[in-house]
Structure 1
Amino acid sequence: MPAPLRIHLSPEENAQLRELETNPVVPHKVRRRAQAVRLAAQGWTAPRIARHLGLDRATARRDLRRWLRQGLDGLADGKAPGAKPRWTEAMTAYLQELLSGDRAWTAPLLAEALEGRFFTRFHPGTVRRRLLALGYRWGRTRYVSVETVWRR
């Protein structure tokens, strides 16, 4: 059986944790971690805290250890895992360079151009969403008589 984790809180830390625990804007997990730390400071063990809060014992211990290592910063959620984004700023700059010319582009054509330049394949829907985020809008391309173009 692991040794109980001893947590001692200053009055300021206790007040900060109490504020976090009762603030409805703070995410639920952060409020629960603040409550766990306050209970541990009152002498509760990790298994008892886990039963009280409906957590796994390992989760309660991990949260308390994070508090001991990082303090208040340890209560916040970490960055979610996942693959790093494939889209880069260079791709955005290349898109803007392509669109600054006179040629009419479609999302599938832009996806092909990106693949040719960066060797990464994107779905045309992804390219479309990036274009919308950059402020570009779709417009129907059509043949227009030369006279119409000159009148504008």
Structure 2
Amino acid sequence: MLYTCGMGPLLQVSEDERRRLREIARSADAGWVERERVEMVLLAAEGWSAPRIGVHLSRSAATVRRVLRAYVQKGPEALFPALPGRKPDVPHRQFVEAALQSILALPRAWTATQLARAIEAHGVHLGPRQVRRYLGSMGAGWRRTQLTLEHKQDARSVSAARQALFRLKKSPRREGAVVLLG
């Protein structure tokens, strides 16, 4: 029950609720925001007015009323600040990861830009940076491609070239041989 006329306690809190609030305030996980909000609720239950609580905690009366109203509506969960930003869209993330898995199953090397273009065929519009984030969350690894022409070389030509280069190498010096400088 929340009174706004200034007569009687602002909030009725049972003994079990008080115990629970004190546990929240003493918890190692609780930050200063949670402790301050618990104190607002407990002081209101003791009969303090919102302006008096605000002066005591160096907060505005409107802030105190907002916290108390949220506590009445949501209970102890209202004492913890909400995380910033939107809630994660899990179905969309799963769809994007499935699309990336199907593209990555193809036998070729991809850059993030190429993956961003390829995933557009699935109706997903992402930039290369966001593609890299999805790849990281999927545990996919990547590395710099190795510059090589081995896949385009003829084995017989390579063998002949190696033999020709071997014949052109300098022969190792024999021990005890006289070297004339000059």
Q: TM-score, normalised by structure 1?
A: 0.80
Deviation at 1:89, TM superposition (A): 1.7
Larger RCO, structures 1/2 (Cα 8 Å, 6+ apart): 1
Cα distance in 1 between the residues matched to 2:84 and 2:136: 26
**Cα deviation 1:67-91 (Å, max 9, x = unaligned):** 2222223323235344876953211
Give the counterpart of 1:23 among 12, 27, 42. Answer: 27
The number of residue pairs the alignment matches comes to 145
Give the counterpart of 2:122 among 117, 123, 130. Answer: 117
Letter in 2 for 1:49: I
Cα distance in 2 between the residues matched to 1:91 and 1:64: 41
- In the alignment, structure 1 residue 133 sits paired with structure 2 residue 141: no
Contact kept in structure 1, 2:25 and 2:35, CA below 8 Å = yes
**Cα deviation 1:99-125 (Å, max 9, x = unaligned):** 1110211111001112343252x2312
Distance change (3 Å), C-alpha of 1:114 and 1:83: farther
Give the counterpart of 2:113 among 108, 116, 131. Answer: 108
Distance change (3 Å), C-alpha of 1:70 and 1:136: closer
Q: TM-score, normalised by structure 2?
A: 0.68
Distance change (3 Å), C-alpha of 1:62 and 1:108: same
Cα distance in 1 between the residues matched to 2:88 and 2:137: 19
Deviation at 1:134, TM superposition (A): 1.1
Residue in 2 that maps onto 1:149: none
Q: What is the aligned-residue RMSD (CA, Å)?
A: 2.6
Cα distance in 2 between the residues matched to 1:55 and 1:135: 45
Give the counterpart of 1:70 among 56, 70, 74. Answer: 74
Cα distance in 1 between the residues matched to 2:87 and 2:22: 36
Distance change (3 Å), C-alpha of 1:127 and 1:61: same
Larger radius of gyration: 2
Q: Which moved more, 1:133-142 or 1:82-91?
A: 82-91
Secondary structure of the residue aligned to 2:145 is coil
**How many percent of aligned residue pairs carry the same amino acid?**
34
Cα distance in 1 between the residues matched to 2:54 and 2:81: 18
